[in-house]
Amino acid sequence: MLRSTSTKVLVNGRTGQRIYHARGLRQGDPLSPFLFVIVMEVLNALIIEADRQGQLTPLPGNAIRHRASIYADDLVLFLAPTALDCACIRQLLDLFAGASGLVTNVAKCTITPICCSAEEIQVVQQCFPGRLQDFPTKYLGTPLSLSRLKRQDEQAVVDGVAARIPTWKAGLLNAAGRATLTKTTLSAIPVHVAICCTLSAWAIAAIDKCRRAFIWAGSTMVTGGKCKVAWTVVCAPRDLGGLGQPDLRILGYALRLRWEWLRRTRPDSAWALLPATAEHCVAHMFNAATSIILGDGATARFWTDDWLPAGPICHWAPVVFASVPSRRRRRCVRDALANRQWMRDVSGATSATFITQFLRVWEMVDGTQLQQDVPDKLVWNLTTDGVYSSSSAYRAFFHGRVQMIGGSRALGDGRATKGQIFLLARSPQATLDSGEETTPWAASKRRLRAVFTGARNG
């Protein structure tokens, strides 16, 4: 199809000679990525077939559902460090190269060992002479590591923000223009990494230092005397009296909440079974912002999900929940209600408080009717359509802040103005009700439940 089509050009109302597309697609053509996906799917099918026939050593466990991860011309393969597996992959790559013309440059390939001995690494390099690189490594611009990222690994993100500071434009922009440029450019650079990695406090402070210096001084350095207001106020939403600059720490929490949402709504995803543990703040906010419409009870969790009118059992019966072993806290509602299995999960405690809460749990769950063939539905309580969005998650972390009178009026059309910056400089910092702390990411479970209650009532 790509070689048989032709084109005619109208010249002064008359069609010219026929132009045959004999060369097919070239680099830069909008159809090139689609053609590349079609071709690379052949290689993926070859790897799947070799794995199905037992030509490759089975990977341990069931967390890795696919051996190959392909994005454009980037290919990641998970193999056992044996000579047979490496030889099989070399044959598949040669077969694919002969059919498609896409030859693999082994010298540019990277071998990253995962818990491999020196002898196994030597065997792999003999069969597949690629470049050896330990963790952390990069894939699609994201650093991959077996542990927390070190400062030297995060330095590239900090340098990327510092390199984009247009100091030569500082003299042409006022503070409002620099604030807009900071929000759209400098604040967007670490988003890609923050989606899957937790930036350290040092990296966030270094990036905030660059953003703060450009907003107030138009340079890479700024002294405290030039900063008109506290940085926490600048990072507050505009209707709360801030300039709307993203708080990178809260933004990271809101972005990583998406993985918890997808883990529950798309359990068949390739990464869903990976042993990833959510941060405490992310897990608490997810529990506070979601609820379950009970169906067959196959996916709703009996102890931790909000499927009862009173809320999650772990919140209003903490003594009973503490007596449940951790391996049984993920039991679904259907299995827990079958023959009252949830009673067998509880053990150890016999105090008066425990008995009171146990009887309340019994009263609340007794008589629950499940709907067969109707799947449970996870609802995000912070949006009208019940679906997760990063903007609603980010806003939820500011729940409880006092709205500044006149903040929206000073905002005008949504852009930061001199009047708004002056208003920030003259207004006291918005605080939480009852004099509570101004760090929403360090909130307790009680305040996180207030987020859920406020979103439901609103």
CA–CA distance, 129 with 107 (Å, rounded to integer): 7
Of 112, 38, 109, the residue nearest 72 (C-alpha): 38
162 to 157, 209, 239, 452: CA distances (angstroms):
9, 10, 29, 38
pLDDT value of residue 295? 92
Pairwise CA distance, residues 44 & 47, whole Å: 5
Enumerate the β-bridge partners of residue 7. Answer: 19
Residues 6+ apart with CB under 8 A from 17: 8
Between 426 and 208, whose confidence is greater? 208
- Enter the pTM of the model: 0.77
**What separation in angstroms does the CA of 69 have from each of 51, 72, 130, 170, 256?**
14, 10, 18, 43, 21
Measured between its terminal Cα atoms, the distance across the chain in Å is 56
Q: What angle do CA 30, 6, 33 make, to 5 degrees?
A: 15
Q: What is the pLDDT of residue 269?
A: 83
Q: What is the pLDDT of residues 262-291, one digit of tens each?
A: 998 988 888 877 777 888 899 889 988 999
* Beta-carbon count within 10 A of 71 CB: 11
At which residue do the structure tokens 């008359």 appear? 14
CA distance 117 to 199: 31
Indicate the average pLDDT of the chain: 82
Residue 242 is given by DSSP the state: S
Q: How far is CA 319 from CA 302, 355, 427, 445, in A?
A: 15, 9, 45, 15
- The answer to whether residue 252 scores a pLDDT higher than 50 is yes
Contact present, 278 and 256 (Cβ < 8 Å): yes
Q: Which residue has the higher pLDDT, 445 or 261?
A: 261
Query: One-letter amino acid identity for 458?
Result: G
- Dump pLDDT digits (tens) for 355-406: 999 999 999 998 888 998 899 999 999 999 999 999 999 999 998 877 766 5
Give bridge partners of residue 110 from the DSSP assignment: 131
The Cα–Cα gap between 244 and 233 comes to 9
Cα 175 to chain centroid, rounded: 32
- Give the model confidence (pLDDT) of 143-188 as tens digits: 888 888 888 889 989 999 988 888 777 778 888 888 888 999 999 9
The predicted-structure confidence for 33-62, as pLDDT tens digits, reads as follows 777 788 888 899 999 999 999 899 888 877
* Burial readout 191-229 (b: 16 or more C-beta within 10 A, e: otherwise): eebbeebbbeeebbebbbbbbbbbbbbbeeebeeeebeb
Q: What is the pLDDT of residue 249?
A: 94
Is residue 17 exposed (0-12), middle (13-18) or buried (19+ Cβ within 10 Å)?
exposed
106 vs 243: CA distance, rounded Å: 50
pLDDT level of residue 24 (50, 70, 90 thresholds): low
Count of CB atoms situated within 10 Å of the CB of 35: 13
How does pLDDT run across 114-152, given as a tens digit for each residue? 888 889 999 888 888 888 888 888 888 888 888 888 888
Q: Which stretch of DSSP H or E encloses residue 7?
A: strand 6-7
Q: By C-alpha distance, which of 124, 125, 160 is closest to 142?
A: 160
Residues 180-223: pLDDT tens digits?
A: 889 999 999 999 999 988 899 999 999 999 999 998 888 888 87
* Pairing, β 290-293 against β 6-7: unpaired
Q: Which residue has the higher pLDDT, 63 or 192?
A: 192
pLDDT on residue 440? 37
Reply yes or no on whether the pLDDT at 455 is more than 90: no
> H helices within 217-351, ranges in order?
231-234, 248-265, 280-289, 313-316, 318-322, 333-337, 341-345
Nearest-angstrom CA–CA distance, 414 and 411: 5
